[in-house]
Structure 1
C-alpha cells in the first residue's frame, strides 16, 4: 500500500539534500567510520582517474569527512578491503559486502574473457604464481582492439578478466592498477555466491532503490543517475510501481516542481530530522557566520548525478567540461562547484596541484546574486582552507568580488 505523499517546499527539499549528503551544519562524519557510513548510505561513489586537485572520490569525501586524509580511502580499499573498485555508476567504489549483487554486471562483461581464453588464462596463471601484477609486468605486446582504442594484449587480458570479475584491483601506484585474483581478495563468504535476484524485475527494483539512495531524492524520469543500471523506460516504470506498492519508496511533492520526487521510505527519519533542524534554525533571530558551512564539491559528486534535477531545484546549471573542446567550454577545463547554506554559490577552476605548493585558483565565478554576503564569503574562505588541508597544502589567496 503506497504511503501518503510528503509535501515539501523547495527550500526544505534543498536543505534535506544537503543534510542527507553531509554537506550542511557542522561536520557529523569523521574518520574511516564516517567514510563507510556515507558510502553505505549512498551505495557507491564514482571513480575517475583525472587528478587536478585530487581524484573524484577523494573530492567527494573531503567535502563530508571532517578529518579526511587520502590514506584513509587507500586503507579501506587496499588494506582493510572494506571497499572495492568495480563498475556501478560507471567506475565506482562501493562496500565489499555488495559484491554478490553485481553478479549480473560481471556476467555482462564476460565477452572479451570468453573470446580470448588463451590470453585471459595465461594472465590469471601468471598472477596466481607471481602475485599482483600490472600490464607492464606482462610481455603480451600484440596490439588488439579495445573499448578505448587499440591497446597491448596485456592490458586487455587484465582488464577483460577484471570486468568479468576474475580479478580485482589489488592496489594502485601513480594511477597504475595492480590486479590480484578475486578469490584471494573477496571474502570467502561472498566470493562465488549465486545471483541473489530471482528475475530481471527484482534486479531492476533493487538497482532503482539503490540509485534513489545514491542521490537522496529522484524522480520517475530519464536520469543520468541511472547510468549502468540497464534500466530503460518500461523497466523504470515497472520498478517504480513495485517499490511504491510495497511502500519501499514514498512520493515527495515539492511545491513548484512539475514532477514528484521519491525517497526511500527508510530515509524518512533523516528527512524528519532535517525538517526539525531547519525549523529550529528558522526560529533563531540570528545565526552565527561560523554555523554556515561551505564546501567544495567533486565534479561527479552524488548530489550532482541528476543535473536536470539540480537545475530545477537549485537553479544551478553545471556541466563538467573536461571532455569538451576548448572552444565549446562555457567555463573551464576542470571546474568545481562551491556550495554553502543549502545552495550553490560559486564555481572555480583550480590550478594543477603540485606537491605542497599552495592551492591556486585560476578562475572564479560567483553565481548570480552571490558574493556580497560577508558571512557566505567567510564560510567559503574556511572551506577553501579545509580543501587545501585535505590536499596537504595551504590556501592564502583572496576571493574576488562579484562582478
Structure 2
C-alpha cells in the first residue's frame, strides 16, 4: 500500500496523462503511443470546437492535427473505431480481445432470420462497389430490430443491417464524413491473424480482470466503487468487481493507494509505480495550460476528480438550456496542477474565428497576468488546431 498526499495524487494523474510539464507525446507516433497507453479514447460525433477524441489528443500531442488521427484510423489502419467505453477508438491489435461481443452479436442475429438475405445483398454490393453508407444502399424490409452491442435503430433497414454486420465484426467503419459512417468489409483491412484470432482470454472472470485493469490504466487511479469508468463492461456488477479487485491485488497487478483525507482506497496498475516514484521526488515541472475534452479519460470519474481536484464538472450538453449552470459545450481548463475554470468555445469555421464565448474561473482563482498570458497561448494553439485564423475573446478583455 502506498500513501500519497493530495498533490502527489494529482501530479501522478497528470503525469500519467501527459498533461504535466513538457509534452511527452509527439506527432503521429505520439498519438499511437498515447492511445496504446490508455487503451481507448472515447468517440463522440458532436463538433463544436473539435470532436471529443480530437480534443483529448490536442491537449497531449505536440504537434497535433486532425489529419493525423484520420490517417491512423483510415489510412494506416493502426487504430480502429470500436465499442469499448461506449463508442471509442482502440488500437487494432486489441481486436481479438472483444471476440466474445462479436460472438454474442452473431448469436443475436439468429433471432432475425430475415436479416441474412439482406446481409448477403450488402456483401455482394460491397464486393462490387466498396465502402458505403446507409444512404447509398436501399434495402427493403419490414422488421423490428435491436443491435446487441450499442445502437437502437428505427425503421431504416439499410442502417440496421449495416450496424448488425458491424457488431458481428464483418464490417468496419471505413471512414466518416461529418457524422456519417461509411462501412466496408473488415477482411479487406484487418490482417487475418487478428481478424480470425480466437479470443485470447477464456472465462468471464478473466475477461473482467483484463477489462478492469485496462480501465484503471486508462484513467490512472480508480476506486472499487460504482463509476462511469466501468461503462459498457457487460456483466460487471459490484459482486464481480469485488472479486476482480481481490484477485488483481493478490496477483500484484494493481497497487492500493491511500490519499490523504480520502475515505476510499484508490488503485493503480503495478507498471505505473515508476510514475509514483517520480512524483515522490517532489518535482517542480513547467506549468502548462490546456483545454480538456468533456469525455476525456482523465475525467471519466467526475466524483474522483471532484475529490482530488475540488472541481465539479458536468457536461451540460444534454441539460435543458434553462437548467444549465454554464453552457452547451464547456471545456475544463487545466493550469499547472489545477483545474482552474472552464470555457465555452465555438469554432466558427466559415469565418475562421475561434469564439471564446465565456470563461468561468473557480472560486479563489485570480486571473493574474501570468494566467492570462498562459490562457492566451492556449487559445492560440487551440485556434490553430481548429483551423481558425482569428480569436474573438471578449471575456478575456
Shorter-chain-normalised TM-score: which range?
over 0.9
Q: Give the TM-score taking structure 2 as reference length.
A: 0.93
Output the CA distance in 1 between the equivalents of 2:216 and 2:160. 34
* Structure 2 gaps, min length 5: none
Query: Corresponding residue for 2:132?
Result: 133
Query: Corresponding residue for 1:284?
Result: none
Instruction: Give secondary structure in 2 for the equivalent of 1:396.
Output: strand
Output the CA distance in 1 between the equivalents of 2:173 and 2:18. 28
Range that drifts further, 185-194 or 62-71? 185-194
Query: Corresponding residue for 1:51?
Result: 47
- The answer on 1:118 being equivalent to 2:117 is yes
Query: Corresponding residue for 2:63?
Result: 67
The 3 A distance-change label for structure 1 pair 269 and 350 is same
Q: 1:109 aligns with which of 88, 105, 117?
A: 105
Contact 1:357 / 1:393 at 8 angstroms: preserved in 2?
Answer: yes
Aligned positions of 1:21-32 closer than 5 A: 21-32=17-28
Output the CA distance in 1 between the equivalents of 2:154 and 2:208. 34
Q: 1:292 aligns with which of 274, 287, 290?
A: 287
Output the CA distance in 2 between the equivalents of 1:357 and 1:142. 45
User: What is the RMSD of the two structures over their aligned residues, measured on CA atoms?
Assistant: 1.8
Output the CA distance in 2 between the equivalents of 1:161 and 1:269. 43
Aligned positions of 1:301-340 closer than 5 A: 301-340=296-335
Q: 1:262 aligns with which of 243, 259, 267?
A: 267
The 3 A distance-change label for structure 1 pair 354 and 112 is farther
Contact 2:349 / 2:388 at 8 angstroms: preserved in 1?
Answer: no
Give the number of equivalent residue pairs.
388
Output the CA distance in 2 between the equivalents of 1:389 and 1:64. 15
Contact 2:358 / 2:395 at 8 angstroms: preserved in 1?
Answer: no
Contact 1:100 / 1:196 at 8 angstroms: preserved in 2?
Answer: yes
* Structure 1 gaps, min length 5: 282-286
- The answer on 1:200 being equivalent to 2:204 is yes
Query: Corresponding residue for 1:84?
Result: 80
Range that drifts further, 232-241 or 104-113? 104-113
The 3 A distance-change label for structure 1 pair 57 and 72 is same
Aligned positions of 1:2-401 closer than 5 A: 5-110=1-106, 113-114=109-110, 115=112, 116-140=115-139, 142=141, 145=144, 147-148=151-152, 150-230=154-234, 231-276=236-281, 279-281=282-284, 291-355=286-350, 357-398=352-393, 400=395
Contact 2:31 / 2:61 at 8 angstroms: preserved in 1?
Answer: yes
Shift of 1:142: 4.8
The 3 A distance-change label for structure 1 pair 170 and 40 is same
Range that drifts further, 327-336 or 70-79? 327-336
The 3 A distance-change label for structure 1 pair 353 and 112 is farther
